[in-house]
Structure formats: C-alpha cells, structure tokens
Amino acid sequence: MKTKSTYFYSFFSLLTLHLLSFSPLIAQEQSLILSAPPYYLKLNPNLVKVDLPQGTNTFHYSGQAAMHSHNAAHSADGSLLFFIVDGNIYDYNGDFIDDVSGPGSITMTGSTECIILPVPNECNKWMIISSVVEDNVTTSNATVFYKIIEYVNQSYNISSNTVQLNLPYIVSIGSYNAVHLTLSEIRSDNSRLLFIHFGGLVYKYLIDGSTINQSTLTYFPIPPESFLTQLRSEMELIKLSDETYKLAFPYLYNFSKYHIKIMHFDNTGDNLLNEVDISLQGSAFGNNADIPKGLEFAPNGEYLYFTHTSMVNPIQYIDFSNNSVNNISVSDGVDYRYSQIERAYGTDDALLFAGPDYISALRFPNTPSSSNWVSNYQNNNLIIPISHNFTGTGNTNQSIRLLADQRDGEDYVQSLSPSPECCMANTIVEADNFVANLRFNNSTVQTWTPTNNPFGGTTQNPLSLVKVRGNLVIPAGYTITMRDMTFEFFPRLTSCSGTPGDKPTIISFGAGIIVQNGSSSAGGRLTLNNTTLTTYKECLDGMWEGVEVWGITGLASNSNQHGRLIMTNNALIQNAYYGATAGKKLNNYPNNNSNAPNNGGIISAGASLSPTNITRFVNNMIDVYFPFNKSAVNNTSRFSYT
C-alpha cells in the first residue's frame, strides 16, 4: 500500500496559531535577583535562595562571602547572567571573566560599591559602575570606574576601554576611603542620573545610553563635615510624583555625631531646592558609637528608613511631613543594626534587612508600622555575615551586612528592551545545537534522566528541565531514551504586517528534534518515556517546529535504517507546528515531493495493552504528519490509546 500525505490535526485553529506565533507575553512577572554571596535570592514572587555557581577556571568563584561589595545581573528570563564579588566579575558558571577596573589597571584593595544596570534600548548590554579602592602603602584613594559588558550567543564581551570618572575636586584624604553611589530610574529620554558622595562633595553625572557624560558634572559641597575616610553605609535616591528627586546619605558632622542629609533636587538634578539634616542621637565614637548603615526610601517618598549601630531603637524612619524620627520597634531589632536595606520587587514592596540568621522584612513601607515586620521573611534562612572590609574586625565604621545595590523597585526586564528577539538572545539555555555523542557515557545507547544527562544533570544537582535554542539531533546508530524530563524548545519568530489576509513573515525558525536515518546502518531511535516536549514561553507565546523522524523513501517499513520515534508512559508533544513528521522537512515544512529521499520515518505512540499512562499530542497545528512515500508498504507506525 502506498502512503499518501497523511496528517492528524490538533483542535487548534490556524488563526490562533498566527496570533500566538508572534505575540510576546505582556504580563510576565520576571524575577529580579539579589546577590548575597555565597547565594543569590530570586525576589518575585517569593524569596528563593540559590547557590552561586562555583567555576573551574583560574581565579574562579569558590563560594566565599563578600568583604567589600557584591552584585548580580539576570537575563531577560530572570536567570542569573553574571555576578560580581569584591571587584571580580564571574559568569553564570562561576568562572572569572574580568575585574571591575580592567585587567592590569590598578591593584585593588576592594570595591566599596558596585552597581549593575541594563543599557536602555540595547538587547544584551549592561553597565557596571564601581568605586574601587586602590592598594597603596600609605594611602588608599577611591576611584570610580565604569565599563560595558555584553552577552551575545552564550559568551561575554567586555569593553576594553574601562572609563575612569573625572572627580576633579577629590584630594588625597587618607586610607580606607568610602564612596557612595546611587542612580535614578530610566527617564523619559532613556537617560539616568548618577550621584556620587565622596570627600565632602556630592557629584551628579548624566548617564546617556552606554556612556557617562562627564561634561554634565555638577557638584555640591556639604560642609561642615569631616572627610568620609572609613564610613560604610548607603546613599539612596527616589523620584517623586512631581518628577523631582530626593537624595539621602549619611556623613560625620563636625567630628562629633553622624547626620543624615536629605537633598531635594529639581528634575534635572542640577538645582538644589531644599534640604533636611537629621542628627543621630549617640556619639560617633567610643564603644557604643552610633553610626548609620542602611538607608531606604518608602516607595511613595514620604519616609526614609535607616538602620544604625545603636543598641537602642536601631531601626527608625524619618517622616518628611514633619521631619520627625520614629521607631520601628521589634524584638530582634538589634540583630539588624549593621544591615543595609534593599527594596524587594513584589506586591508588598517589602524592605529587606540582613541579620545574623536570616533576612527579615518590613512590609508595606508606605504605611510605617512595627506590626508590618516579618522575621525570617518567607523562611529564607539566609545568613549575611558582617563584612569588616579592609581593616579586619573591630572597626565599627567599616563593619556592615552587605546587601547588593540595585535600582529599587525597577523591573530590569523592562529596561532590557524585552522584545522576543532580545529575550531569546539573553536566555541561558542548556542546549544550543546539540548532537548526541559518546562523551556522555561512551555508548550509543543512552538514557537521559534528571540525575544523569548530558546537559549537566547529576544526582547532586538534578536537571529535569532543558531549554533548547537550536536542533537536538539523534544521529544514526544512537538509541536515546528521555525519561521523566521536560524539554522546552525556542519558538518560531514571526511578524505580521497588520493587513488582513497577509501571511506572517518568518523572522527565524524555532527549535526542534531530528531523528536521523541510517544510510547503511541502523537509524536513530528516540524514546519518550514520561517526557514532555513543548515550547519555551518566557519570551514568546509561540510554537516550536516539532520532531522530524527521517526515513528512506521506498525502503520497506520494517527496515532498521529508518529513524524511529517511540512515545510511551504519559509522553507528551505539545505546542508544535508539526508535532511529529515521518520524514525530513524541506525549509521546516514536510516535503511531499515524489522524489523526496528521506520520508518513511517510523512513529509509534501509546500504551500497547491498556489506556493507562496514555501518550498525548496537545495544541499542535498538526499532531502527526506522514508525507508522501512512494512504494512504501505495510507502514509499521502505530498509535494506540493516544
């Protein structure tokens, strides 16, 4: 019996297919992450503690806590992209890439602050701004650098021209200098404002794309104060509803007490409208020194929360309606007196505080109340050690529990120009174009499970979900069983003209699986055992290409030279243009040409004896397609309880 073109449609309309093939997910709540070496936290919707990866190359990350500073960046799908610990930049595997000041430029004592921000309208570029303390016998002078890092095709490109900012009014002021950095959210013209507090001055620069425009420097003296030789704290900025800005930072007033200054700027950041100066109650020196550590504005800008080293009421806030200082009175408050404060990205805008046993949170900071305090927020059990920076233990000025600086409340995914192309280019995958090979277990017969697979899954670190960017190929002679796994394939990317009746334009084809035939030996064999093949939806709610099972046109169906696909035990293929095709496609479409050489692949799906653990094809444009196959008789493809 000759086989004509045969196909089984899924209950999925072509109109719906076209809509889903190019519509990005608008409401995806991508995670921000917060580094906390040797871990990082995913912040949305819940705190999830994840180990930072430890690499294998020279100078790789080896699990150490940060002494000076740390931060991390995520890709458009929320995965860890790279991270920084004490001035060293590591990739998502924990391997060393570069340092924040550039190779060989200076010898660093440390990086006192480090900010990572996405470059607007650039798919995969980040700016790293760091205050670096140079190692010197007699003095350690602070310098601010910035550089650009680009992630393209699973590799990192770092700008060779690390730029040092011009801080023309800084003088050499002694060792262990602290520098405070903060920046605005993206403005309507895609610029940002960068503020630097150092040595009795506040500097303002304009960040324009991937450049910090040094011709825009404005500076503001803040006398009377002593120079900030050792204070490690924070500086924070918030844009108010009237488009103006509030800037807050601590300083040492007249060598007696620490103060917190709040400067109110216009929308350019060049003109100071007014300022508020709040004095801490205790002395700046002695065994019970009262030193500010963490600062954070409430999202509405009406309050400023701060921590300080006093044993009495170490968590307080300033109410700008009357400039009063008020207490957040909690039983374990003294545990957080060295903590920096960071705002989580989520529905309650919780402020995070680092303690000796876990991170706690003050929820709903727009309405200050001690009752909003939650110890061990979402059961994170994350210990943030006190960092003593350069001089070791015993220096209260420098002791601090570090939380990574970020642009508070900003969803960086939106800043990453999250078009589907950008999102997919930034997504870290376990398989790009992958061909099964002997390197996995030195055998052509392989079973891939979450605890044993060629994509990194081990007993210690199981991996059941594999993202695939290109084609996953089962060569002739290989017998592969995928068991208890899920594979997510990148979707086809299309665009529509908007004109009714026009077909979508294909920008790029999606990922898929190819089971090859054998020319003079057995073809490839793929078995799906309780395994799902589906589309990757984080960037695009589209469809992938499906499975190609190559055969040899006209060859008897029972020949072992045909490629074979076997589905069993709850196996599922879904959201594909062609779930499974019994032949080699031509330009990603079934080839019905009578001379097509590679039709006749064998596809079997279902339970052999009962409907228990049935296999399924769901939401595919066409579930199974049998292209024209001349002279083929008694096709051995079978479907039961499917």
Question: Distance (Å, rounded) from C-alpha 202 to C-alpha 131?
Answer: 14
Q: What is the pLDDT of residue 186?
A: 86
User: What pLDDT band is residue 540 in, cutting at 50, 70 and 90?
Assistant: confident
At 212, the amino acid letter reads I
Q: Which of 83-87, 149-153, 169-173 has the lowest mean pLDDT?
A: 169-173
CA atoms within 13 Å, Cβ hemisphere of 262:
24
CA-to-CA separations, 611 to 208, 410, 642, in angstroms, rounded: 62, 50, 8
Category of 364 on φ-ψ map: left (φ > 0), alpha (ψ -120 to 50) or beta:
left
What fold, for 33-415?
A: Methylamine Dehydrogenase; Chain H (2.130.10)
Residue 1 neighbours by CB distance under 10 Å: 7
Model pTM score: 0.74
Q: What is the pLDDT of residue 223?
A: 58
Q: Quick check: 352 and 344 in contact, CB under 8 A?
A: yes
Residue-wise pLDDT tens digits, 607-619: 655 556 788 999 9
User: What average pLDDT score do residues 413-429 get?
Assistant: 72
Give span(s): CATH 2.130.10, the chain. Answer: 33-415
Question: Distance (Å, rounded) from C-alpha 583 to C-alpha 585?
Answer: 6
Nearest to 299 by CA among 253, 211, 364, 205: 364
User: What average pLDDT score do residues 328-336 get?
Assistant: 93
Question: Distance (Å, rounded) from C-alpha 59 to C-alpha 337?
Answer: 34
User: What pLDDT band is residue 632 in, cutting at 50, 70 and 90?
Assistant: low
Q: Is the pLDDT of residue 285 over 70?
A: yes
Mapped to the 3 state alphabet, what secondary structure does 433-486 carry?
A: CEECCCCCCCCCEEEEECCECCCCCCCCCCCCEEEECCEEEECCCCEEEEECCE
Q: What is the pLDDT of residue 324?
A: 96
Q: What is the pLDDT of residue 16?
A: 31
Residue-wise pLDDT tens digits, 169-200: 544 444 445 678 899 988 888 899 999 887 67
Q: Is the pLDDT of residue 319 over 80?
A: yes
Eight-class DSSP state of 138 = S
Q: Is the pLDDT of residue 21 over 60?
A: no
